[in-house]
Structure 1
């Protein structure tokens, strides 16, 4: 009786094992290793860590700040070795940038992409959680049409290099776009890609669809309002109470411009034949200062926009057109960047001051030095001491 039971059990296990191996084989054939791509953004709230400034704290201190603020996703615009070393062991997920200046060289051959990955990415793994490579920034729609032509080859070469190093399971390949890639975006359902950009955009989207990468868009209600303050309700741009807009084609109502901008991108993807591709916002934010002709660039508006944006992202909700897909966005930016060229607004998007204190209150506490010469390290040490003291007090009262 016992022998019979054991034999039956073994037969069942063998049947299950055979079924499991068959299933594994099917998945291997249908989804080969090169087509299983990492997801660079595991949360919904991230921040862009720009560094075009001469007054910023060292990267080690930035890690302390991000941990205190519980920010787990960041983007940088290069692959700076000091930054990547500082983030080792932090658990913070980071997307690095392959600068526009490298695209022509990278597009020439896969070996050049391999050299870049081996120098700027591979040495920092797995300690530093590099989850994505953004190949170029706002290429299509820019003035340099030579870069339009080399973008797809550069993207493919970077991906091939990652695949040869068996890193495509961990690192996503993407390329953020500006709103300049669209011919129009109002109402959202009318949005489509510009005719001159479509021949370059479509092969890029085809490749991203093949490898499972999302569509990254830099969406700024601030820029829209700044350019047309007489036609746009400021409350609509700031997530405040307003009449909103109605899209007659989709019969959807929008009570804020950000959602409308995201859904406009979805509409453009639909028309291009990529309705299953996810949209992620690679940049959004609001300037706290600006020139006289930069409408809406005030600290009050920046605080309102970023506070409401944080609340909106933490709810993990979708948009009217894609209600089941939580919106993900990187806020621009962590700090003001005092060396950025252009209008005053370009240098005033920061959520934090260089000393670690908040630029304005949107729910973050920041790190506040006790004196002018205090460092982030001192502030962090004080936070640890306070935590320990609170724990000791709790134990004594039990």
Structure 2
């Protein structure tokens, strides 16, 4: 137990340095930054320890992939905004308004207002998943859940949306050519109309890593890592892009505008970079993962918007807090975390502590010039 507490204490310090970037000698919150807290792993710290960690680090947004009551209870009185998830296999059931009301009444309502639930992610990547039958259930389930929230007086506090893979787009380059896949032409307007009527965001899981892995001979590594580079200019809008993530987000905005829905906010529900991969997973290294997340967090501290919407800060959730060693698939799938399941650091993002200035452990930090590796 002593070793576990020691690792948790170290986790507090290290992730605090990672997530409270400041170029001015004092700690600031990145108001548009969140983190994905997945739990498909062995020996994770208890939720009570995780929320204690996040609270001490001034992390104000998190997302989980279910409605685990232990996690929801742990988040009580933490002031961390939490997005919860409806699993894909629940969509057909929740089309029924009575079932949706029961779900909200038992999974959400008992934890409000102590737990600050601000969003419900209905399914995950349904539009691009293998089970096409889910498409018929997605929007009706969202409508039923929103109606249930309204009936309980919670609709003004909790939005309803669904995270989408970038594969919803038929074209994404240049950004102004963004268009949804033609087979989604029937359902996408229904979805976008729901988002418009409920003032909910379009969530996108955007991973420049995948584009680089598949086209490393054509795509600049610096461009996908937010490193200094010449970037690209959209030939139709003349907007300049110095990183791929912002270009991907703007491609989604253009796709929505093509369907007549230009006022919907886009938020990044997942983005990250794996620190390990199989032999064919080009670019999955400690150095690249550290560079991507370090540079992304620098941008978030500026509360930046994309070139198309420069005055609307882009909300981003980093994937992920922990490596999840029980996930199936290639090696990269288990190595997106900033930390291993036992609480040890997966890699260093290039930050160093300068001082502790008060009894509340408010640390002044500086950005180092490169990502220092830590032996795992």
- TM-score of the two chains, using structure 2 as the length reference: 0.85
Query: Is 1:245 matched with 2:217?
Result: no
Determine helix, strand or coil for the equivalent of 1:263. Answer: helix
1:48 partnered with 2:20:
no
| Contact 1:69-1:364 within 8 A present in 2 as well | no
Within 5 A, what are the aligned runs for 1:1-398?
43-107=31-95, 109-362=96-349, 387=359
Structure 2 portions without partners, runs of 5+: 1-29, 363-376
Please give the secondary structure, in 1, of the residue aligned with 2:183.
Answer: coil
Deviation above 2 Å: which 4+ runs of structure 1?
Answer: 352-366, 386-390
In the TM superposition, what is the alpha-carbon distance from 1:285 to its structure 2 partner?
0.3
- Whose helix proportion is higher, 1 or 2? 1
- RMSD, matched Cα: 1.9
The aligned counterpart of 2:372 is none
Equivalents in 1 of 2:59, 2:273: separation in Å? 19
SS at match of 2:186: helix
Q: 1:338 to 1:70 in 2, by over 3 A?
A: same
Judging changes above 3 Å, is the alpha-carbon distance between structure 1 residues 249 and 68 closer, same or farther for their aligned structure 2 residues? same
Return the structure number with greater relative CO, CA threshold 8 A, min gap 6. Answer: 2
Query: What's the CA shift for 1:119?
Result: 1.1
Partner SS, residue 163 of structure 2: coil
- Retained in 2: the 8 A contact 1:358–1:365? no
Contact 1:288 1:300 in 2 (8 A): yes
Does structure 2 retain, via aligned residues, the 8 Å contact 1:69–1:365? no
Structure 1 Cα separation of the partners of residues 277 and 322 of structure 2: 16
Contact between 2:290 and 2:347, CA under 8 Å: does it hold in 1?
Answer: yes
Q: Which residue of 1 aligns with 2:7?
A: none
| TM-score (norm: length of structure 1) | 0.80
How many angstroms apart in 1 are the aligned matches of 2:34 and 2:352?
Answer: 17
1:142-186 deviation digits (Å, cap 9, x = unpaired): 111100111010000000000000101111111110011000100
Runs of 5+ unmatched residues, structure 1:
1-41, 367-382, 391-398
Q: Distance in 2 between matches of 1:157 and 1:134?
A: 13
For residues 48 and 160 of structure 1, the distance between their equivalents in structure 2, rounded to whole angstroms, comes to 27
Deviation, structure 1 residue 388: 7.5
Q: 1:56 to 1:275 in 2, by over 3 A?
A: same
What is the CA deviation profile of residues 271-316 of structure 1, one whole-angstrom value per residue up to 9, with x for unaligned ones?
A: 1111111110000000000000001100110000000001111101
When Rg is computed on C-alpha atoms for both structures, the one with the higher figure is 1
